[in-house]
Structure 1
Amino acid sequence: MAAERNGASIRNIAEVPWREFPNHFGGALSKPLVMPETVGSRHLDYRISLYQPMAHVARHKHLVQEQIYHVLEGEGLMEIAGESKVVRKHDVIFLPPGVEHAISNSGLVDLVFLVITSPVSDEATPA
C-alpha cells in the first residue's frame, strides 16, 4: 500500500503488480510505478520493465511524448528510425517525439530497464 500525504507517495516496487500493456508481446511486462492511475501524476509516467527472452514491443512512435530508457540488466535490440543497435546495462536511450522505435530482448536472460515518459498523454495540445 502506498503511503500518501498531500499527493506525495511512497511505494515499494513489490506492491505493484506486473502488467502486459497493449502492443507488448511474449512476456514484455511492466510495473507502472508512477502514472496518473497509480499515484495521480500529471507530467510523468515512470515504470520498470522486464522483458523475457524474445519479448518485444511493437514498433511505434509518440506524437508529443519524450521517453528515456535506462537499461539495468540484460541485453537486447533497440530499433530507432529503422536502425537496430544492441543495448545493455548502463545504456541510456533518449527518444524525442515522432521517432519510430521498438525494443526487444534478443539476449539469453531477462532484459530489465526503466522507462520515463513525459507528458503522460500522447495527445497534442491545442495551439
Structure 2
Amino acid sequence: MHLRPEAHATMVFDWGSIKWLVSPRHIDGAKSTLGEVVINPGRGHERHSHPAADEVLYVIDGEGVQMVNDEEAFPVKAGDAIHIPAGVPHSTTNTGWRTLRLVVTYTPGGEEAALEQAPGYTLLPPGTVPAWVPEASA
C-alpha cells in the first residue's frame, strides 16, 4: 500500500502538527501507528503517557530536549532515536530556531486517538496546510 501525506488529515495543536500515515483507524488490519510530528520553534507538548503502547521517536531534523519517565530532560538532534515504554510519562520541546521533525510509532497502534482530547486540537482535512502563529514577543 502506497501512502501519500497529502491524502491524510493533519492534527494541529498550539505547539505543532501531526500527520498519521499508518493507523489501525484508517487501515484495516494495521497493528501499529506511524506518523510525522512537527514541533514549532520554541514550542513543545505537555507531559503525557500512552498507557497501552510503546512509543518510538526518531528525530529527522532539528534539535530539542526530551524528557522520559520524569527524569532530567536530555538533548536530541537529527539521527537520535528514543524508546518510551507504555505508560511512561514524557514530553518533547523544540529548542532550536527551525522546526523539530520526528517520525513517531506506537506499538500496538491506536494511541493517536487520545490526542483528539488534547487542548487546542484541530483536524485539518487532507490537502490543507497548517499555519503556524508564533508567540508574541514580550
Both structures adopt the same fold (TM-score exceeding 0.5): yes
State the TM-score bracket (shorter-chain normalisation). 0.7 to 0.9
TM-score by length of 2: 0.72
Task: Name the SS of the counterpart of 2:48 in structure 1.
Answer: coil
Equivalent residue number for residue 89 of structure 1: 78
Query: Greater RCO between the two (CA within 8 Å, min separation 6)?
Result: 2
Alpha-carbon distance, 1:38 to partner: 2.5
Equivalent of residue 48 in structure 1, options 13, 23, 36: 36
Q: Which runs of 5+ in 2 are unaligned?
A: 112-138
Q: How far apart, in 2, do the equivalents of 1:41 and 1:88 lie?
A: 33
Matched to 1:97, the amino acid is: A
TM-score by length of 1: 0.78
Q: How far apart, in 2, do the equivalents of 1:108 and 1:15 lie?
A: 29
Q: How far apart, in 2, do the equivalents of 1:121 and 1:109 lie?
A: 29
Matched to 1:36, the amino acid is: P
Q: Which runs of 4+ in 1 moved over 6 A?
A: none
RMSD: 1.6
Q: How far apart, in 2, do the equivalents of 1:37 and 1:81 lie?
A: 28
Q: How far apart, in 1, do the equivalents of 2:83 and 2:29 lie?
A: 21
Q: How far apart, in 2, do the equivalents of 1:75 and 1:41 lie?
A: 35
Equivalent residue number for residue 16 of structure 1: 8
Alpha-carbon distance, 1:110 to partner: 0.4
Equivalent residue number for residue 115 of structure 2: none
Q: How far apart, in 2, do the equivalents of 1:31 and 1:95 lie?
A: 20
Task: Name the SS of the counterpart of 2:6 in structure 1.
Answer: helix
Contact 1:35/1:41, CA 8 A, preserved across alignment: no
Q: How far apart, in 2, do the equivalents of 1:10 and 1:108 lie?
A: 33
Matched to 2:9, the amino acid is: P
